[in-house]
Amino acid sequence: MSERAEQLRLVEALLFAIAEPIAEEALSRHLDDTADVSSLLHELAEIYAGRGVNLVRLAGGWTFHTAPDLAASLRIERPVARKLSRAAIETLAVIAYHQPVTRAEIEQIRGVALGKGTIDTLMEAGWVRPKGRRAGPGRPLLWVTTPGFLVHFGLDSLNELPGLDELRAAGLLDLTPLTLPEQAGGKSAEQEAGAEP
């Protein structure tokens, strides 16, 4: 068996043995210096394309995942312990898009105070964590998302978060301007523009 084939087998075995995405640097520690880990991973990804599992890049590392077209057949229904509140979803979005961010900044962006357990719920889910403190009065904690957040939402990096156009196209964002009601007894701007002098 060629050296390249042995390297492919070892990388494949490591990926199967480790449940979490593993970085190329970590894989390279198990191979000799002549191995081109990036090339080996891309070759394995091609080998597994079209199979029941695919080699994918998530959270800055590589892992095997069920092929997307088979996911529905393998879905296991289980009761969800608790659904995220709207406040938790909004807080998670603020942290994801504005990180690192303090609690006060989250409250300012959302326009309401955070409930006591909102960040705790996101920490229990493994999606956010504290990362240092902001220099300044009170030295507030800074909040960031975790690799678990990326894995759960199928992202390789935060650069893959949807932008404004994608959110608007998905119907998740409505940026239509608000119209003010007409004043009692007055004319609307349209009526005044069309009125005869």
Taking 3-state DSSP, the helix, strand and coil percentages for the chain, each rounded to the nearest 5, stand at 45, 15, 45
- Hey, how many other C-beta atoms are within 10 angstroms of the C-beta on 23? 12
Q: Which pair of tokens denotes residue 47? A: 């080998």
Among 50-64, 95-109, 175-189, which stretch is predicted with the lowest mean pLDDT?
Answer: 175-189
Decide: 20 and 63 in contact? Cβ < 8 Å.
yes
| Structure confidence by residue, pLDDT tens digits, 123-164 | 998 999 999 999 888 899 999 999 999 988 888 888 888 887
pLDDT of amino acid 188: 41
| Structure confidence by residue, pLDDT tens digits, 31-81 | 888 889 999 999 999 999 989 999 999 988 999 988 888 878 887 766 555
| Structure confidence by residue, pLDDT tens digits, 6-27 | 889 999 999 989 888 999 999 9
Its sign, for the CA torsion 61, 74, 124, 16, is: negative
pLDDT of amino acid 67: 87
Decide: 149 and 96 in contact? Cβ < 8 Å.
yes
